[in-house]
Structure 1
Amino acid sequence: MSKSAATTVRFDPAGRLKGTIVPPPDKSISHRAAMLGAMASEPVVIRNYLEAADTTSTLNAMVRLGALVERRPDEVVIRGTGLREAGEVDGVIDVGNAGTLMRLLPGWLAGQKDRTYTLDGDSSIRKRPVDRIAVPLREMGASIEATDDRYPPFSITGARLRAIDYTLPVASAQVKSCVLFAGLVADGTTIVREPVPSRDHTERMLAIAGVSLRREGNAISLTNADELVLDELTVPGDPSSAAFAIAAGVLVPKSRLLVKGSGANWTRTGFVKIVQRMGGVVLGELEDPQGDGPVSPGEPITDLDVAHGPLVGTVVEPHEVPLAIDELPLVALLGCFAEGETVVRGAQELRFKESDRIALVVEGLRGLGAEIEATDDGFVVTGTGGLRGGTIHSHGDHRLAMLGAVAGLASDEGVEVVGMDAAAVSYPTFTEDFTALLRR
């Protein structure tokens, strides 16, 4: 690997990858832990909090709302305001590039009676819709005013909320979590129904905090709470970051990797199961799906053994998408090296991430020699056994930057990633970690 410009890094073909890699702390869980810490009545210690651009935006937002945040070498301590006592804010709450913060925080703010908050972010955030959270929050009694009734900047005026029984039009952990946050302070029992399961970190942390939640099929019910009681939370390794090491280990010949301490929550291991179905060697203890009843607190973790192996194409169906949403660009990359055709369906949510990931993944991989076509809700890849290489632009999207890096390691000629610094959003030590695997 070599840097040719401040934000451009070249990733040359790797002979093999060998060694142990520890993925960074989970970004989704770090966001949620910080917000719940700010809602809690007593100090909360968060161990292994992700120190990255997006999660720093969340800590800064909690400070704006009146929480005290102390950063220590191995932990973050948050002294919150309580569920119903978020502070008033002069000016705008800046969410930066953090879509999770933008979509979850309004659930809490909607219950701050007669207080108005305005959220805004960078140019990418201003392209990300918020109408899916506005609909249920308005139904609960809050007032939402958005740009073109759909985009940031937008304002929330809190109210005394009423519980609702809400069916999500599309499975989304972010929208689900937003409604559950609002349900914490709403009168009655709030029910959120999903078409298919999505990641359940919010539910597990609320269960730790003593909130009464139940899962019945794809419905989650929650009764309002007087307070959140949290002492400490520990953030596991991020499965979405671990996915890049898994993909690299499977694609680069003669590779053997140990991925340590990755989250094994069943709502986050869809990618591992897709890789295994394609023939990739990934061994480790994965959590079984949870059944009906009270939500189990806590997050399981696992170590994963990864090795190179020949791949065959697969079809990723819509019900699998929420369990692998952030890793689907890597499925496209694996499809380039697989025998036969790889198809992803029902992934229209990818068009509303940090970028239009369907369009940019197709454009980026095609520029490296892939045979790939976009569809309205996914893509179709015809495996050719590999990639030539070339140049790929991240367009400020951290997952596209890391996708390009892994493609370079497995390619014939190497890949230059323009905008590699975007990886710092979720994986600040990505380049250093992967350089260490090459040296071993």
Structure 2
Amino acid sequence: MDLLINPDRERTKLALLMALLVNGRTVFEDFAWATGAERFAATLKEFGLEYEQQGHQLVVSGKGFQYSVPTLLPIDFPEYESVLLWTLASKSCDTVYTFAADGDEAGVASVNAAKALLQKYFKVNVQADEPARFAFCFDMAEPPIRKDSLGNVPYIMRNRLLLRTLVRSEYLAFEEASVVRDQLTRMLQYFGVALKYEGRGMEQLSEFERRLMMAQGKKIERTQATELSETKVITARDYYIPGDSTEAFAIALLVTVGGVHKDTVVKVKNVDLNGGRAGAFGCLKRMGANIETVSRREKFGDVFGDLEIRPLAAGKRLQGRRFSEEIISTSLEEYALLSVAACFAGGETILRLPKEVREQIRPVNEFLAENLRKTGVEVGVYDDGIVIRGMENIVNGSDFDGGEWPQVGLALTVLSLAIQNDEPVGHVEVVEQSFPGIVDKLKSVLVQENSEKEGA
């Protein structure tokens, strides 16, 4: 059976932002709105974006670098979206911008949260600071580039640096240890921005430099270098937004652990396979899953393709593995799903989180572990991440609740379906808000399995 999934949410919003900066018309082929993208696009209208859906295409007209900026800036978007919108505004350091809300407790809290987030990513000159109103100008100075414990610039900051350098016609260069969530970087290259993005290592050194470092016993690390130069105009190009990796991973996991008929073959089409975003597929394959990329396309500046998933062979099961911070940094959206995979694996699975997100994810881990333990699986939450000792046959488990976290709810939905639990997962509506239609798609895999059993 073939399945189509929702477009990647983050990439959709980045592409709409790029279309604003294009001097002309951008056409998105086979377009569908990702969750939250219509609201983001409506806000970009205030910057001058124009768009119209024509059949399976979205036709977008951009303003180039001459886009307008509203002085009353939005404050109620998720962090990475807010930072993108504010970065567009930061091209002007003379304009006074304002965060404002109602004067009640909720309004004051929202302005304070936006102010704290703004000052995390930007230097600003404060013009007015009142309980429900904050007015400021952007400063010309840039905060220093700080790398995380893995030697990378955190992706929200990287996107902010790239976008601000672009709209200000400036120069930027930095190196990172690896590639994590570089969708905007590759998008900029595709749209013709003067950007170099390349791996560097021994091949960039002269023979003398190589010999000297070897004699000194120094290890030559390979790095990923980014260099952005002044770009006068971004020209229009057609674009395509591939499917959400998280949705595809949930389907792949259910086919793997759901006890489906041995002859079941599920193809998930046009999945985003960006290596810095879709690392979870490599994790599941390392555990023994039968996943194959049957059509890999390098188009529109990035990689996407069709995945073909088959159930495990009779008598086989997943095997526990230890996954480092580096690989988990490319799989954070699938972290809860990987935890469910570990519940079915032989031996012990350890998922180590990058240092910068451990405190933030700790309560999510505790909540997830509480649900997973309902199956009888051993789960331990520790400072670095989570450790799970799987069971060969999981037959118990009910009263699952995803709470306020859609990725947790999605993972528990896969778990519930895999063990044939008849009770719905609590707060499944939160899952459907982020991944519309995913529950029915997951159930269709099991319906396909049942029909194959009946025909056998």
TM-score by length of 2: 0.78
Tell me the residue number matched to 2:80: 100
State how far apart, in whole Å, the 1-side matches of 2:128 and 2:351 are: 32
State how far apart, in whole Å, the 1-side matches of 2:240 and 2:135 are: 32
Give how far 1:391 is off. 2.0
Letter in 1 for 2:82: M
User: Is the Cα–Cα contact under 8 Å of residues 122 and 138 in structure 2 kept in the other structure?
Assistant: no
* 1:58-207 → structure 2 map (5 Å cutoff): 58-90=40-72, 92-93=73-74, 95-96=76-77, 98-115=78-95, 116=97, 118=99, 134-135=119-120, 137-138=122-123, 142-143=124-125, 157-158=137-138, 161=140, 166-169=145-148, 171=152, 172-186=154-168, 188-207=170-189
Letter in 2 for 1:168: K
State how far apart, in whole Å, the 2-side matches of 1:239 and 1:254 are: 22
Tell me the residue number matched to 2:37: 55
Deviation string, structure 1 residues 397-416 (Cα, Å, up to 9, x no partner): 22122112101111253452
User: Relative contact order, CA 8 A, sep 6+: which one is greater?
Assistant: 1
Give how far 1:274 is off. 0.5
State how far apart, in whole Å, the 2-side matches of 1:437 and 1:144 are: 55
State how far apart, in whole Å, the 2-side matches of 1:282 and 1:136 are: 39
State how far apart, in whole Å, the 2-side matches of 1:30 and 1:280 are: 29
Deviation string, structure 1 residues 50-98 (Cα, Å, up to 9, x no partner): 52442223112212333223234423233233325332244x52544x3
State how far apart, in whole Å, the 2-side matches of 1:146 and 1:270 are: 45
Tell me the residue number matched to 2:267: 258
Query: Among 421, 426, 443, which residue is 1:413 paired with?
Result: 421
Tell me the residue number matched to 2:304: 301
Give how far 1:197 is off. 1.9
Letter in 2 for 1:204: R
State how far apart, in whole Å, the 2-side matches of 1:439 and 1:249 are: 12
* 1:213-224 → structure 2 map (5 Å cutoff): 213-215=195-197, 216=199, 217-224=223-230
State how far apart, in whole Å, the 1-side matches of 2:182 and 2:161 are: 13
Call closer, same or farther: CA 1:415–1:279 in 2, change over 3 Å: farther
Structure of larger gyration radius? 2
Q: Secondary structure at the match of 1:196?
A: coil
Call closer, same or farther: CA 1:335–1:286 in 2, change over 3 Å: farther
Query: Among 19, 24, 27, which residue is 1:37 paired with?
Result: 19
Deviation string, structure 1 residues 126-168 (Cα, Å, up to 9, x no partner): 9989978745532xxx558999xxxx99876345x46787242
Percent of matched pairs sharing the same residue: 18
User: Is the Cα–Cα contact under 8 Å of residues 144 and 156 in structure 1 kept in the other structure?
Assistant: yes
Q: Secondary structure at the match of 1:258?
A: strand
State how far apart, in whole Å, the 2-side matches of 1:52 and 1:145 are: 37
Letter in 2 for 1:306: I
Tell me the residue number matched to 1:243: 249
Letter in 1 for 2:309: V
Letter in 2 for 1:325: L
Give how far 1:206 is off. 0.7
Tell me the residue number matched to 1:392: 400
Q: Secondary structure at the match of 1:181?
A: helix
Tell me the residue number matched to 2:283: 274
User: Is the Cα–Cα contact under 8 Å of residues 254 and 442 in structure 2 kept in the other structure?
Assistant: no
Stretches of structure 1 that go unaligned for 5 or more consecutive residues are 1-18, 291-295
Tell me the residue number matched to 1:431: 439
Call closer, same or farther: CA 1:249–1:374 in 2, change over 3 Å: same
User: Is the Cα–Cα contact under 8 Å of residues 68 and 78 in structure 1 kept in the other structure?
Assistant: yes
State how far apart, in whole Å, the 2-side matches of 1:128 and 1:331 are: 32
Stretches of structure 2 that go unaligned for 5 or more consecutive residues are 200-222, 449-456
Q: Secondary structure at the match of 1:211?
A: coil
Query: How many pairs were matched up?
Result: 405
Give how far 1:118 is off. 3.4
TM-align CA RMSD: 3.6
